[in-house]
Every structure is written in structure tokens, then in C-alpha cells.
Amino acid sequence: MNDATSSARDETTRGPWMTPAQARQLAAAAGDLYFQLREADLARDTDPDPARRRAGWRLDLAAGGPHSAAEDLLDTADELIRLAARRTDACSVPWGVCPEHGATLRSTAGRCWCTAPGCLRRWFHDRLGEPCAEPVTHRVVDADGDWLDLCDGHAIDARTRIINATVIPLS
């Protein structure tokens, strides 16, 4: 990796507002808070004073906040890492496709899957909502001669969407 590439990569890894490492540190802090609240909640069950035992009824609710914060921060770190790992020759389309079937993805709640019959591809992140990270494999030329280099899946999609498109495999 040359200097220009590595500094470009540092730039994308660092990001303007949070690094993956910082997101994971915060997730660990939230996880620690969650653990302390759960411990206190368990310990209050052994309190002989019923009024004091009752006073801790909110602990279980309180623990839910840091638990979901930890999950969200870990997902944030993972997404930043995926973005930083995109190859320099990655397809430039800002959303994902199935590498074999094209625009057949559905996603919900941070999960994504291909809806093409018989395709078993699943992703445990929102592939559809993130920039395409597949390597460029085809040049798609439209009727005006304008061209765009795309991955397998986006080339399939362009074939059906762009009228009179010519799709040329790149060697």
C-alpha cells in the first residue's frame, strides 16, 4: 500500500466524528453499565426490606437503555469498518445488490436478504442501504455513449433499467 492509499484509508477509518475503536469503547462502557444495573437488580431480590426491594423496580427498565446503546454502537463500529474496507476499485453505486441477481434485495431491522427464487444469500447488516463494495467487472454504455463501470449485480440491474444499454465485461 503506498502513502497516498494508506492516508486515504486512515481518513476513511478515522472519520470526522468517531472511529470504530471509539464506538467499541463506548459500547464496552455501556455494556459495563448494563452489567452493574443487572447485578444491582439481582441483589435487590435478597433485600429483606420489602419497601426497599420495591424501590429498585426501575433497575430492570434502566438496564435496557445501555443494553440497546451497546448494540447500536457495535453496529456503528461494524458499519464504519465495512466502509473503510471497501476496495479502491469498488463499484460506485451508493446501495447494495445481490452479486448474482442484482436489485433483488430486501432489508429490515439491520438484516438483508435476496428475494430471487433459490438464492440463499443473507447479510446480518443493511447491505441494501450501504454503498456497494463489490469489485467493478462491467462497463455499461448508454445510448449517448456515456459509460459507467459497475459490479456484476449492478450490471445486471443496468441491463434492465437503461434503455439500449451495452454491457461490456471488463477483463
- Interface contacts to Zn ion, rule CB under 5 A: 91, 93, 98, 100-101, 114, 116, 119, 121, 132, 134, 151, 154
CB of 81 to Zn ion, least distance (A): 19
* Beta carbon of residue 156, minimum distance to Zn ion (angstroms, whole number): 10
Residue 80's nearest CA partner among 27, 1, 136 is 27
Decide whether 24 or 101 has the Cβ nearer to Zn ion.
101
DSSP 8-state code for residue 16: S
Least distance CB 89 / Zn ion (angstroms):
11
Q: Which H helix or E strand runs over 160?
A: helix 152-161
- Taking the least distance from each CB to Zn ion, the nearer of 20 and 157 is 157
- Residue 43 cell numbers, joined: 441483589
Query: Which has the closest alpha carbon to 111: 122, 96, 102, 101?
Result: 122
* Smallest distance from Zn ion to CB 95, Å: 8
Q: Which is nearer to Zn ion, 84 or 119 (CB)?
A: 119
CB of 166 vs Zn ion, minimal distance in Å: 18
Nearer to Zn ion, 93 or 128 (CB): 93
CB closer to Zn ion out of 24 and 138 = 138
Contact (Cβ atoms closer than 8 angstroms) between residue 131 and residue 86: yes
CB count, 10 Å around CB of 171? Answer: 4
Round to whole Å and give the CA distance between 18 and 123: 24
CB 76, CB 18: distance < 8 Å: yes
Local structure of residue 136 (DSSP, 8 states): P
